[in-house]
Structure 1
Amino acid sequence: MARLSAEEKIQPHWWTKSLAGAVLGLTFAFAVVGIFAWYGPGGIQAPNKVQFNMWMISPVWLLILSFSFLFRTGMRAVLILGTANLIAWATFLLLRYTL
């Protein structure tokens, strides 16, 4: 079995990964739940959907925070989660102003 080189191993950049998962994960969770809230079944006016959306932010955020430690480096976590945020928020705003 071949050993991994130093570049192939997951690096312990805990502070960067934690901040990326906490801050960028939360903003990504807001975007994903916002898209579902506005454009999911029944739209924003669906009964009881507000409560469901509020409670869905935490599991989505914690899932992203948990998986942020699997990135190889902290900078890669920031870049990928930042890109995911840009795509999610651009999608939300594009849908918001076109529909």
Structure 2
Amino acid sequence: METSGQGQAFQADWLSKTLAGMLLGLALAYVSIALFAWYGPGGIDAQDKVQFNMWMITPIWFSIFSATYLFRTGKRAWLLLGIPTLALYGVFFLLRSMA
């Protein structure tokens, strides 16, 4: 275990953190792009928006994925990525049902 400057231990949970980044990071990237695609400028039918959205998923996903190793534990990574993912999917489906 390594310790940060404040004396709190980081746990190595590499497998748990990697799976959280792969699965929840990708889900979070998808829902972020979906919200932008449907409710961003010009809506879903804006010119060249589909291509832009397609190319933006990877940098968003990899940014989230790389940041998962900064969580103290794998459980914390799952929790702190899972809550916003579920919340954003809830918002997305709520907005889609009202449209």
TM-score with structure 1 setting the length: 0.91
Structure 1 unaligned runs (5+)? none
Aligned residues: 95
CA offset digits 1:28-80 (Å, max 9, x no partner): 10000000000000000001000000001001100000100000100010111
Moved over 4 A (4+): none
Would you say 1:55 and 2:52 are equivalent positions? no
- Equivalent position of 2:90 in the other structure: 90
Distance 2:10 2:55 in 1: 32
Where does structure 2 lack aligned partners over 5 or more consecutive residues?
none
1:14 aligns with 2:14: yes
Structure ranking higher in strand proportion: 2
Equivalent residue, structure 1, for 2:78: 78
CA RMSD of aligned residues (A): 1.2
Amino acid at match of 2:13: H
Identity in percent: 51
The TM-score, its normalising length taken from structure 2, stands at: 0.91
